[in-house]
Structure 1
Amino acid sequence: MLNQKELENKIRHIQVQSRMAVTEMLAGEYRSSFKGMGIEFEDVRNYQHGDDVRSIDWNVTARTGAPHVKTFMEERELSLYFLIDLSGSSDFGSGTATKRDTLTRIFALLAFAAAHNHDNVGLILFAGDVEEHLPARKGKNHVMRMIDLIMRHQTRTRGTSIHNALNYLNQVRRKRCVAFLFSDFLDSNFADALKDSAHRHDLSCVAVHDPRESQLPNSGMIELRDSESGKILTIDTQDPILRKKVAQRAQQHQSQLRTLCHEAMADLLTISTEEDYLLRIIQFLRERNHRSADA
């Protein structure tokens, strides 16, 4: 458990590191991935790295001698909502980072990229039920407040209900938006809610997992405590049958999630607490942009 000073240092580090990454690497990728072509022409502006070449206004470019792109009303009105699972399992981590640390860093990168592009960002924190809701607003200070809330929040409800979180999003956000669902997806009975939300919104699922959830340490007899139910279990990590079952269960869970997202037509980013999350996000945005260009 971090003390107050350690927590403040971690929050500050995430904020600074994320803002630097957005400025240096992520802003263009974000803009290419999420800035769709609207139906109402608004203005032209100078071309920026990452802009879709299909949006170049060749007449203005030829007249001014510098590349310009068309902007549309849809760009100005883009809103992002982040649904973040902070149930007990989010605080598990076998290395230097917990799942909460990892999802907070990914959130920070995407949210600062949105703020950099003057988009609105909203936040929904949930566990067994929705616990916090910050409506979508613009600004980096708004994002910094969200990072602080995610890292400090202590859950009040037990278990995990992705179903409740998605239904809440649909209630508070009637218009279509870009939505990110962060979770380890250790839940059930949310398939219909996922399909419904993916139909209403541009939905991406971000599945954060820890390596120890699929591969047990070879440490003999150990005692485990379920972070959500509090149940204690003693296991033999050297048991080859148990080790195989754990690996198979994790593989099955990931396979089922991929199938569910595919059927719901929701994007899926699966990431480990030990991965380079910045490169994985850039790869995810590029893949998303290529799919959009091919559509």
Structure 2
Amino acid sequence: METTDLLKKVRHIEIKARGLSRNIFAGEYHSAFKGRGMAFSEVREYQYGDDMRDIDWNVTARYNRPYIKIFEEERELTVMLLIDVSESLGFGSQSLLKRDIVAEIAATLAFSAIQNNDKIGVIFFTDKVEKFIPPKKGRKHILYIIREILGFKPEGNGTDLNVTLRYMTNAIKKRCTAFLISDFIDAGDYKQALRIAARKHDVAAIQVYDKLSTELQPVGLMKVRDPETGEERWINTSSKKVRDRYRSWWSDLQVSMNNAFRQSGVDSVSVSTESDYVKLLLQLFKQRK
């Protein structure tokens, strides 16, 4: 992508994502992702109806009358975007590729985070961790992230969620909110890595897929290429057996993915390239209330 084209696209996504995060997602994001917990704020004299468990016994002993601790919610979050940049994201039968939808979703989440004064970082991955951008705040940092999302050129082609999840678990020491954004076309077993990551961090999963990739259309003999392995082969899409086998592969993939989410306690949403991802993201946020 030429530099001028990239800058235009960055600006377009910035305007769209900023508007969505400010006008639609601000309140939903804030209530869905509440921060690390409660932090001590101050003490005040005990009042009738206060919880006895909040009494500060040291201050109470000093002043010879009961005082309680006041706590406030720690709002600041660290948000990590785990973004799949494998070759299979380059597919799309609609006006946008899966990669384009991933970019818009990631940018919208990034602006939502920054408007809530949260830090945001990124892990780009294929069948390995391609790049780690440490969490920071600020518009300049967000624009850098969007430029990388749109222009990043990975070394790998495949997808390995297991490696990525293990990397995040080890690299991010404090509890964070992590959005795993992928098409989840991964033949490996990532259930255990997801379970461990979700135990340490607050993980939400966003699957991006294209409707055409869920079912073969009967259009006769077709040459197909696996974008992640480069393998090419001819298939007869007129054959019901071939179409059934493909449909079964997709169904098994979805069942395995959803089982992994459920067993790990991970909230998730699936977004197709032709659907309204705004509505689906709001749905994800509301799951968490």
Gaps in structure 2 of 5+ consecutive residues: 43-69
Q: Secondary structure at the match of 1:248?
A: helix
Map 1:207-246 to 2 at 5 A. Answer: 207-246=207-246
1:255 maps to 255
Map 1:84-99 to 2 at 5 A. Answer: 84-99=83-98
Aligned amino acid, residue 86 of structure 2: S
1:287 maps to 287
Q: Secondary structure at the match of 1:28?
A: helix
Sequence identity (%): 33
Q: Is the 8 A contact 1:37 1:72 kept in 2?
A: no
Aligned amino acid, residue 170 of structure 2: Q
2:277 maps to 277
Aligned amino acid, residue 93 of structure 1: G
Task: Tell me: CA distance 1:83–1:37, structure 2 relative to 1, closer, same or farther (3 Å).
Answer: closer
Deviations 1:245-294 (A, max 9, x none): 222221221121111111111111111111100111011101211xxxxx
1:79 maps to 78
Q: Is the 8 A contact 2:35 2:73 kept in 1?
A: no
1:168 maps to 167
Map 1:64-213 to 2 at 5 A. Answer: 72=72, 74-76=74-76, 78-187=77-186, 188-213=188-213
Aligned amino acid, residue 220 of structure 1: G
Structure 1: distance between partners of 2:223 and 2:5 = 28
Deviations 1:112-166 (A, max 9, x none): 0000111000100011211111110111221121111011111112422111111
Gaps in structure 1 of 5+ consecutive residues: 44-69, 290-295
Structure 2: distance between partners of 1:97 and 1:137 = 29
Structure 1: distance between partners of 2:246 and 2:146 = 33
TM-fit CA distance, 1:177: 0.7
TM-fit CA distance, 1:193: 0.8
TM-fit CA distance, 1:111: 1.0
Q: Secondary structure at the match of 1:217?
A: coil
TM-fit CA distance, 1:73: 5.0
Q: Is the 8 A contact 1:81 1:180 kept in 2?
A: yes
TM-fit CA distance, 1:224: 1.2
Aligned amino acid, residue 121 of structure 1: I
2:47 maps to none
**When the two structures are superposed, what TM-score results if normalisation uses the length of structure 1?**
0.83
Aligned amino acid, residue 101 of structure 2: T
Q: Secondary structure at the match of 2:127?
A: coil
Structure 2: distance between partners of 1:266 and 1:90 = 22
Larger Cα Rg: Structure 1 or Structure 2? 2
TM-fit CA distance, 1:5: 4.3
Aligned amino acid, residue 157 of structure 1: G
Q: Is the 8 A contact 2:267 2:287 kept in 1?
A: no
Which of 34-43 and 109-118 deviates more? 34-43
TM-fit CA distance, 1:13: 1.5
Matched, 1:35 2:37: no
Structure 2: distance between partners of 1:149 and 1:176 = 25
Structure 2: distance between partners of 1:9 and 1:239 = 45
Q: Is the 8 A contact 1:204 1:268 kept in 2?
A: yes
2:46 maps to none
Deviations 1:197-218 (A, max 9, x none): 0111001111111111112234
Q: Secondary structure at the match of 2:288?
A: helix
Structure 1: distance between partners of 2:246 and 2:226 = 15
Deviations 1:24-43 (A, max 9, x none): 11111100100147322449
